[in-house]
Amino acid sequence: MEITVIFLGAENEGNIGSLARVMKNFGLTDLILVSPKVMIGKDAIKAAMHAQDVLRSAKIVEKFEDAIKNVDFVVGTTARLGWNYNVLRTPIYPDQLSRLKEVEGKVAIVFGRESSGLTNEELNKCDIVLTIPANPEYPTLNITHAAAIIFYEIFKMFKKSQAERYRCASRIEKEKILEIFHELLREIEYPQEKTQIAFRIFRNIIGRSFISGREAHTLMGVFRRTIMVIKRLKQKK
């Protein structure tokens, strides 16, 4: 899945640069500016910091339709909720973006003008509308603050998918580690009165660490090798 960021009618050059920066923070590089009121200049470049490559590759188009013509799924953003009175503005929240995992192709995250956001006509061209819950007395976030929250959720979703490729150690593997550790305590003649506490502490560590299957087998191998060395040293005495 590819992610494209679309910014409509940008009114502040610094916000363009800051948006590029937060995009790069979360591994996004494809930026489209739709009919910006300002162009990319020194203020945008300064705000972008180390994301100037995102600015250099940014595309500028005149119409929203041109920005989304090759997009498979469009996510519009808004701070103004409609609920049952305006179905165009019935939103999802950032933590529901995990649904995007089911989308194949290109996804666009669309941000509206700093002063007025997206129009109903533009929202009508979006597949879903997303909002960020905030203080009802002042619910509108700066575009880059909103972008950071949204991009983080997307980034987390991809990272979680990658993490799922790693197999966690099974209960049997963890019990085997504990068994070998207990044997190691005996071989080093750890004080009997402290053994139970040491074993309990190590069990707690293993329980909290969510170790992978590979890590479990590496630990077992190190402990077994240590026990073998200790036994050899004892035989030489």
**What integer pLDDT is reported at residue 84 of this predicted model?**
43
Mean pLDDT of 115-135: 88
Question: Is residue 237 pLDDT above 80, yes or no?
Answer: no
**What integer pLDDT is reported at residue 206 of this predicted model?**
82
**What integer pLDDT is reported at residue 88 of this predicted model?**
46
**What integer pLDDT is reported at residue 162 of this predicted model?**
53
Output 211 or 107, whichever has higher pLDDT: 107
Output 129 or 31, whichever has higher pLDDT: 31
**What integer pLDDT is reported at residue 140 of this predicted model?**
83
Identity of the amino acid at 191: P
Question: Is residue 161 pLDDT above 60, yes or no?
Answer: no
Could you give the C-alpha distances from 179 to 26, 169, 231, in angstroms and in order?
A: 42, 15, 17
Summary mean pLDDT of the chain: 87
pLDDT, tens only, 50-99: 999 999 999 999 999 999 998 888 899 987 665 444 444 467 889 888 87
Q: How confident is the model at residue 166 (pLDDT cuts 50, 70, 90)?
A: low
Mean pLDDT of 210-231: 90
**What integer pLDDT is reported at residue 170 of this predicted model?**
79
User: Could you tell me which CATH class the domain 2-163 is placed in?
Assistant: alpha beta
Task: Determine which of 110-119, 141-150, 161-170 has the lowest per-residue pLDDT on average.
Answer: 161-170
Q: Are 52 and 45 in contact (CB under 8 A)?
A: yes
Q: Are 97 and 157 in contact (CB under 8 A)?
A: yes
Task: Determine which of 45-54, 89-98, 119-128, 138-147 has the lowest per-residue pLDDT on average.
Answer: 89-98
The two structure tokens encoding residue 197? 């506490």
User: What percentage of residues in the chain have a pLDDT greater than 90?
Assistant: 53
**What integer pLDDT is reported at residue 171 of this predicted model?**
76
pLDDT, tens only, 181-208: 999 999 999 998 899 999 889 988 887 7
**What integer pLDDT is reported at residue 83 of this predicted model?**
45
Identity of the amino acid at 227: I
Exposed e or buried b for every residue in 95-124, given b needs 16+ CB within 10 A? Answer: eebeebeeeeebbbbbbbbbeebbeeebbe
Count Cβ atoms below 10 Å from residue 4 Cβ, excluding itself. Answer: 20
